[in-house]
Structure 1
Amino acid sequence: MGILYALVARGSVVLAEFSTTSTNASAIAKQILDKIPGTNDTHVSYSQDRYIFHLKRTDGLTVLCMADDTAGRRLPFAFLEEIHQRFVRTYGRAVHSAQAYGMNDEFSRVLSQQMEYYSNDPNADRINRLKGEMSQVRNVMIENIDKVLDRGDRLELLVDKTANMQGNTFRFRKQARRFRSTVWWRNVKLTVALIVILLVIVYIVLAFVCHGPALPSCI
């Protein structure tokens, strides 16, 4: 499933967010923003069940995503790095004074596109391995989310399994269409090859008949 939810925030003020599925990840993410200690730059991950919240804070700007635990750490943090760079490059100083969700209409589309890329495109991991930019996340410790949230107001992560199944179904259909296209082209190539072979055989037979001893000439 890859990356399911992402946001960009200044302190605890969410500037943009996007989710691929029905979930309460937004509520948990906002609690994490309220309770992460200090203001220093940080890379940290918090787990709950089989989902992990990855957080990167640089120069007061926080990017956070929730991913399935099978996504590992390198890809989610590569995604966060990409989102941070795109956000700063797009909005510059406006980041420091923007109101809550001030960039959501525009930047949520960027979040959606990059989530799709880092979740499903095998080139995403290959490119980041070549860049070698994510070596700093190797020693990031994954803590249980209870350590950052007070137990009294702990929120259970609720993920809509139906929506996830729909997402998986969409990917399956996409792969199926790609497979059918591949099979169709293969059949076309095979048909063309058979026609060519048949024409060659007919040509050879006609040439033999035309130049054979039984007939003086060929029509």
Structure 2
Amino acid sequence: MTISYSCVANGRVILAELALTGGSHQDAVSSVLKLVLLKAEKKTRARIGSYVYHTLFIDGITYLCASDNPLEVTLPSAFLDEVSRTYSENPMMFQEPFTPSNATVADLQQVLGKCMMKYNQSQSEFMISALKSQVTDVKNTMSQNIDKMLKREEKLNVLIDRTDDLHVATKALQKTKASKMWWRNYNIIIIIISSIFIIIIIILIGTNVIPV
């Protein structure tokens, strides 16, 4: 990926610009700046022709760059962040936002040139850094998912333990009830047998089978 063009604009007025390759970006940049003002969003991407235009819109100032890789987002975003920081940290650049002097334009172009050279030469390092960051994000997401699964499993185990405890308690209660019922039936049988025995004795005594 190569950042072939960049500029800083106030509204639709370009304060400074720099192109590393031939070809005109004016019409495309004009359309993109108009889109930025209409959307008023911090970041915008637009593909026009063979280039992708990335913008960063802060306090009315638009930082723009064009790259030739439609899939790369991290590098242009980092480039625009650095240009915006450099611009905002230089108070002299803010004194002439509408009609910048030649010196201010030269300073802006120097900032753009240094950043473009830096990011174009170091794109492999930035891509590796971005990949590491993505791997870290995936790792963190997986760790969070595993933690959630472990917590759900722990809650499930607690629920199973409670269910087992309830099952054991139910069995114990049923056993206690069965024991009480057995003793109750046993007492009833004893009472019935005793009653029958007493009635037989009374009958035998009444019929003089058993002398008194």
Task: Report the counterpart of residue 72 of structure 1 in structure 2.
Answer: 72
Q: Unaligned stretches of 5+ in structure 2?
A: 138-212
| Structure 1 or 2: more helix by fraction | 2
Deviation at 1:12, TM superposition (A): 1.1
CA RMSD of aligned residues (A): 2.9
* Inter-partner Cα distance in structure 2 for 1:128 and 1:82: 16
TM-score of the aligned structures, taking structure 1 as reference length: 0.52
Task: Give CA-to-partner distance per residue, 1:106-140, whole Å, 9 cap, x none.
Answer: 221221121111112133445567789xx9xxxxx
Task: Give CA-to-partner distance per residue, 1:73-96, whole Å, 9 cap, x none.
Answer: 110011011111111111367256
* Inter-partner Cα distance in structure 2 for 1:76 and 1:16: 18
Task: Report the counterpart of residue 51 of structure 1 in structure 2.
Answer: 51
Task: Report the counterpart of residue 177 of structure 1 in structure 2.
Answer: none
Q: How does 1:107-122 map to 2 (within 5 A)?
A: 107-121=108-122, 122=124
Maintained 8 Å contact 2:56/2:80: yes
* Inter-partner Cα distance in structure 2 for 1:9 and 1:94: 12
TM-score of the aligned structures, taking structure 2 as reference length: 0.53
Identify which of structures 1 and 2 has the higher relative contact order when contacts are C-alpha pairs closer than 8 Å and 6+ apart. Answer: 1
Distance change (3 Å), C-alpha of 1:128 and 1:95: farther
* Inter-partner Cα distance in structure 2 for 1:91 and 1:123: 31
Deviation at 1:37, TM superposition (A): 4.0
Task: Give CA-to-partner distance per residue, 1:18-72, whole Å, 9 cap, x none.
Answer: 0001111133212321343447342111112331011110111110011011660
Q: How does 1:50-199 map to 2 (within 5 A)?
A: 50-69=50-69, 72-91=72-91, 94=94, 97-99=97-99, 103-121=104-122, 122-126=124-128
Partner AA of 1:72 in structure 2: E
Secondary structure, aligned partner of 1:72 = coil
Q: Unaligned stretches of 5+ in structure 1?
A: 136-219
Task: Report the counterpart of residue 42 of structure 1 in structure 2.
Answer: 42
2:24 aligned with 1:24: yes
* Inter-partner Cα distance in structure 2 for 1:51 and 1:80: 16
* Inter-partner Cα distance in structure 2 for 1:97 and 1:48: 27
* Inter-partner Cα distance in structure 2 for 1:71 and 1:3: 13
Secondary structure, aligned partner of 2:90 = helix
Secondary structure, aligned partner of 2:6 = strand
Task: Report the counterpart of residue 8 of structure 2 in structure 1.
Answer: 8
